[in-house]
Amino acid sequence: MTAIEEKPDTAPVPEGHVRLTIDGVEVIAPKGELLIRAAERLGTVIPRFCDHPLLDPAGACRQCLVEVEMGGRPMPKPQASCTITVADGMVVKTQRTSPVADKAQQGVMELLLINHPLDCPICDKGGECPLQNQALAHGRADSRFVEKKRTFPKPIPVSTQVLLDRERCVLCQRCTRFSDQIAGDPFIELLERGAHQQIGIAENKPFQSYFSGNTIQICPVGALTSAAYRFRSRPFDLVSTPSICEHCSSGCAERTDWRRGKVMRKLAGEDPEVNEEWICDKGRFAFRYLTAGDRITRPMVRDAKTGELVETSWTDALRVAAEGLAKARDGKGVGVLAGGRLTVEDAYAYAKFARIALRTNDVDFRARAHSAEELDFLASTVVGTTPETGVTFGAIESAPAVLCVALEPEEEAPIVFLRLRKAARKRGTQVFHIGQWTSPAVTKTIRPYGVDKPLAGSLLACPPGGEAAAVEGLPSHAPDVIEALGGAGAVILVGERAAQVPGLFTAVVKLAETTGARIAWIPRRAGERGALDAGAVPTLLPGGRLVSDATARLEVERVWGLEAGTLPGRPGRDTGAIIAAAAAGQLDGLVVGGVQTDDLPDPVLAEEALDDVGFVVSLELRASAVTARADVVLPVAPSVEKAGSYLNWEGRRREFGTTIESPGSLSDCRVLDTLGVEMDVDLFTQTPQAAAADLARLPAVLRSAAPPVAVAAQAPTLEDGQALLATWRQLLDNGSLQSDEPHLAGTARATVARLSAGTAARLGLNGNPAVTVKTERGSITLPVEHADLPDGVVWLPANSGPATTRRTLGAGHGDVVSVTTENLLTGATTDGGESA
């Protein structure tokens, strides 16, 4: 932002700037700047309620009144400084120098307090309330109004997690503007007129926002409160610690407020380069898992006689784990499933433990559907990129065009979605999506001003599994997209779902080479990007060094203090191959980080592998399907009880300190380091700081891996009653980190199946129907909603409620499934008579 400069009268005014006077001080400010901003940067804070730097001006509260003079003539009455822009020759007097402005502000404050209740002793906003602060600084000591205050029944549940106290509201419209401008959701709006005007739920529009918690934080008067936090604490009871969100790959800045060793709430932190001032509701409310009843706090070892897990000491548990892993290593070997939720330091410890203690490259963080083509893409295009060399949030915002491929941004990376919407709305960025249907994220980014306004992008619909062909066909079928991507600064965003589509990564790389657009990979989980750079994959050592490169191995051996030739030179197995090998008896042991079997490509096979493999060590926070089958369970610390860093999708390091000190809570890197000592190796990862310092000795190298080369799969032929399955995870679903939070779960999107009207008609859907999607493994029955999917396609959420596509169906995105219909009234089931 341009700094305000004090200049003498004779100083020239730069182009695009104006000279004005504020409180007797002559300043030069950029044209179009709001007067309240110019005064703010001069050091004069004008009181306000409705103004917010990331929202369009409203002039609703009138608290920021100032005297304005133009051309020697004063305006007839004080003006709202949050709506008027600076002009050449303007003379402004704020409350600091103008009794008129000061009196006007006091009068407005008096009016705002006419019906405001005396809730301060019990209000959640008490102690951090702008209304309290400004009433003291800019209000009168007494009021002329003695009439009975207006009251309403309260609170009104706007949703399961947002409560509204209407009499506290000063109609600043921050919440309604956020809903309309930032999130694009039908959330809340102004109702009635005049003295009866109030905030309420949008008429005939369901509450469905992933960002509603932001309205609680920006509400200046405590009218909107959190159902989970209401009456739980006061700001002066809390300890506030800066933190980083652990839920997705954006790495949002947060503030964690805690008391007596327990997290009470999380708030959005301010970071203009990443999340600005917003976070999603998952990042704000999903922290109850930290105190879940199934939290593991003591090491456990399986009793040889009873077969039950029993608590034991760390010394005993580490001894048993070391002996079992050493035996398995010297037998058929051990595989390491690290998971995607790790900090950079913890992922590095897993990568180093696998290579040194277990002498294997069988390590992979990808606890989800994956492919060899994806690994080639990550090694050639993603690893080692930084904000200086790759795509950033700012680059998305300033891009002339953005193509989203196999990415549902609102569900998988909510803050990326907000930047896409801001880019479309503020800068006219064209946003294109290659997907299956006009989801809410698609609608709100291609029509940022409303569904009845002109398009700012488009959906390039294709059947699931046909995304590679769609990308390859852009030059002939969508030349306007090719032209837009040829603009300077254009961006292609690729989601992790691309790993399920053969040839898609290859097609995206070729498209980028053709158009000059830059590529960014956006995974769902917070730890995936850091785990890639830390070497927790079967083909890469830390820093993107190829396992197969003898020179790279020699460099790592030197840094790690190993003899030459110690590190294995053959690329290891990926997650799927590790599980298959364990199930087939080709491995004798597994080390499993925070992995949920339901996240894996085949949960049933994964659990069979855990049952059949000889020895399993689980490093876990809570009881799971893995811990139920493990021989040794080692408890590890959640993010609030340890320090470390995440590497977000930009490659930006997001460091955080320990929020809550818990003496018995150990980070993964500390546990693995101690386990390594028991196996006669030293990882030098005793603390996150030590692990980070050790990793820093292996900086990223120039990528030497070849780009992916794969061929798009042929579209399968569908028989009668069959369809292609389109599926991805919703933001709020069955995820283990969302447990014990019913208020948040109440705002999850409906678990429904979606079909096109044509497909539904051929299936004979009528009355109150449900659709049953099935494979040889099982079936899922859900209510039906119509959407603009391609014919012959059915969409299901991947892991919401009863819709667990991987476990129940054994199927993923692009697979063939059978579709039958079931009437919810009769329960009768019929096969579809034509191809669905």
Mean pLDDT across 305-309: 93
770-791 residue pLDDT tens: 899 999 999 999 999 999 999 9
Predicted pLDDT at 206: 67
- SS3 of 74, please? strand
Q: What element of type H or E holds 420? A: helix 414-427
The model's pLDDT over 372-399, given as tens digits with 9 standing for 90+, comes to: 999 999 999 999 999 999 999 999 999 9
Q: Give 806-828 pLDDT, tens digit per residue.
A: 999 999 999 999 998 765 444 44
| 330: amino acid identity, one letter | D
Is pLDDT of 831 > 70? Answer: no
What does the pLDDT read at residue 732?
A: 95
**Tokens for 405?**
């491929």
* Mean pLDDT, range 75-96, rounded to an integer: 94
Q: Residue 2 pLDDT > 60, yes or no?
A: no
**pLDDT of 529:** 97
Token digits of residue 514: 């053709």
* Confidence check: pLDDT of 708 > 60: yes
> So what's the pLDDT on residue 712?
80
Q: How far is CA 59 from CA 32, 62, 90, 107, 425, in A?
A: 16, 6, 19, 16, 21
Provide the pLDDT for residue 662. 87
Residue 568 token pair: 């294995």
Lowest mean pLDDT: which of 473-477, 517-521, 832-836? 832-836
Q: Which three-class secondary structure state does DSSP give residue 7?
A: coil
pLDDT of residue 836: 30
Q: pTM for this one?
A: 0.94
* Interval 113-152: pLDDT, tens: 998 998 999 999 999 999 999 999 888 888 888 888 888 8
Mean pLDDT for 601-619 is 96
Length, in residues, of the chain = 836
Q: Is the peptide bond before 242 cis (omega within 30 degrees of 0)?
A: no
- Work out the pLDDT band at 9, boundaries 50, 70, 90: low
Give pLDDT, residue 411: 97
Beta bridge partners of 235: none
pLDDT of residue 146: 84
Angle 603-612/575-583 helices, nearest 10 degrees?
50
In which residue are the tokens 């002009």 written? 87
